[in-house]
């Protein structure tokens, strides 16, 4: 199911067929460094991750992390979407792309479309984003999307310090 489309991309819900792509994305060193090690090593792990994560989120909240695919070929190149975490007061924007598809404007294109959809379809007045403070490329992207730094927070779990950004859409 297509969630949003852009001139070059199609953002659709993830399915269990995306498991091999998820293994590649979640084991990218930049993903592990900036987002975390999800312990997904095999397609079976990826299926479990998808079931407990994005697929459960679609069912529960009506949104979640989606696959970003090339409109022309349908090839998955990254993920982008909204997450609902217990520790945050509202949904936050998440994105990650395979290394060969970074620095080509795809992340900005997909994230802009997802952000616009969050406002238009879901009626969200504010969208949050959390990012590793040293992840400069993602922070620059958030600035381009209109996000502003709010404060430094710590989520439960690994206890890492993260920068919380917010974009007010009203």
**Coil, helix or strand for 40?**
coil
Q: How far apart are CA 167 and CA 55, in angstroms?
A: 25
Cβ 70 to another protein, closest distance in Å? 28
Q: Which is nearer to another protein, 122 or 161 (CB)?
A: 161
33 part of the interface to another protein, by CB under 8 A: no
- Number of residues forming the site for another protein (CB under 8 A): 15
Asked if 127 contacts 118 with a C-beta cutoff of 8 angstroms, the reply is yes
Q: How far apart are CA 90 and CA 87, in angstroms?
A: 9
Asked if 125 contacts 91 with a C-beta cutoff of 8 angstroms, the reply is no
Binder to another protein among 72, 123, 151, 170 (CB under 8 A)? 151
Which of 136, 54, 38, 128 lies closest to 87, judged by CA?
128
Q: Which is nearer to another protein, 24 or 143 (CB)?
A: 143
**Coil, helix or strand for 142?**
helix
Cβ 107 to another protein, closest distance in Å? 16
Rg (CA), the chain: 15
Cβ 35 to another protein, closest distance in Å? 17
Binder to another protein among 161, 166, 167, 170 (CB under 8 A)? 161
Q: Which is nearer to another protein, 99 or 137 (CB)?
A: 137
Residues in 82-141 at the binding interface with another protein, rule: CB under 8 A: 133-134, 136, 139-140
Cβ 2 to another protein, closest distance in Å? 33
Q: How far apart are CA 118 and CA 59, in angstroms?
A: 16
Contacting positions for another protein (CB under 8 A) = 133-134, 136, 139-140, 143, 149, 151-152, 154, 156, 159-161, 163
């Amino acid at each position: 199911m297509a969630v949003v489309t852009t001139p070059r991309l199609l953002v659709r819900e993830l399915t269990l067929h995306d498991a091999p792509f998820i293994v590649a994305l979640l084991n990218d060193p930049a993903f592990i460094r900036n987002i975390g090690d999800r312990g997904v090593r095999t397609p079976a792990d990826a299926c479990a991750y998808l079931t407990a994560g994005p697929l459960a989120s679609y069912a529960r909240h009506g949104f979640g992390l989606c696959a970003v695919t090339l409109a022309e070929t349908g090839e998955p190149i990254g993920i982008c979407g909204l997450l609902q975490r217990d520790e945050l007061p509202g949904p936050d924007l998440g994105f990650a792309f395979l290394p060969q598809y970074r620095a080509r404007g795809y992340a900005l294109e997909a994230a802009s479309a997802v952000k616009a959809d969050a406002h238009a379809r879901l009626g969200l007045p504010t969208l949050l984003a959390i990012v590793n403070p040293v992840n400069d490329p993602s922070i620059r992207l958030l600035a381009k999307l209109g996000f502003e730094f709010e404060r430094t927070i710590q989520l439960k779990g690994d206890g890492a310090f993260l920068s919380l950004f917010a974009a007010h859409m009203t």
